[in-house]
Amino acid sequence: GLLSGGEKRRVALCSMLLSKPDMLLLDEPTNHLDAESVDWLEQFLQRYPGTVVAITHDRYFLDNAAEWILELDRGHGIPWKGNYTDWLTQKDERLKQEDNQEKARQKAIQKELEWSRQNAKGGRTKGKARLARLEELQSVDYQKRNETNEIFIPPGERLGNAVMEFKNVSKKFGDRLLFDNLSFLVP
């Protein structure tokens, strides 16, 4: 008989693990696995002596199998020690710290702008230093986080005019006619 998706995944996983590689690259390793297989995989990975790189959206798997997480944020990789729950806690702290730093930077910019407005004709040396400080504060590259959790995927090119077309379709159940000579197009 034919193997199901889960059976194919288990066979491929067993074949790979039997080869004893130094590094495992796992892309959504829990997809198509039943709960018992996921539990076995988590336990295996906890004892695995090599390096494991897993890309997954399975937070329970991450909680049970991960020792550290690499977060990709605004073009940078940020390593976090611990499992998924630890990462959530640490990330929350980092985001609060980032927000506080940005608020302090904005406050300092406002203070320097106010000073430069009030002392436009003031002392040259002190004025130059304050303007340099303002330029420095404004030049900091602050990237806002994209917290929408949405990825924009532009619509692809249309490949045809019809998804399905039905011409003169009829359907009966026993002697009972459900519909007869039905024609329609699904664009």
pLDDT of 148 > 60? The answer is no
Is 108 domain-assigned? yes
**Count of domains forming the chain:** 2
Domain that holds residue 13: 5-66
Which of 115, 146, 118 lies closest to 131 in space, CA to CA? 115
pTM: 0.53
Q: Is pLDDT above 90 for 102?
A: no
- For residue 159, being part of any structural domain is answered with no
- Report the percentage of the chain scoring pLDDT > 90: 19
Dihedral pair phi/psi, residue 62, rounded to 5°: -60, -40
pLDDT of residue 19 exceeding 70, the answer is yes
Is residue 181 assigned to a domain? no
Determine, yes or no, domain membership for 158.
no
- Same domain? For 61 and 95 the reply is no
Task: Classify residue 150: in a domain, yes or no.
Answer: no
186 belongs to a structural domain: no
Residue 61's nearest CA partner among 84, 79, 80 is 84
* 14 and 58 part of one domain: yes
Same domain for 51 and 101, yes or no, is no
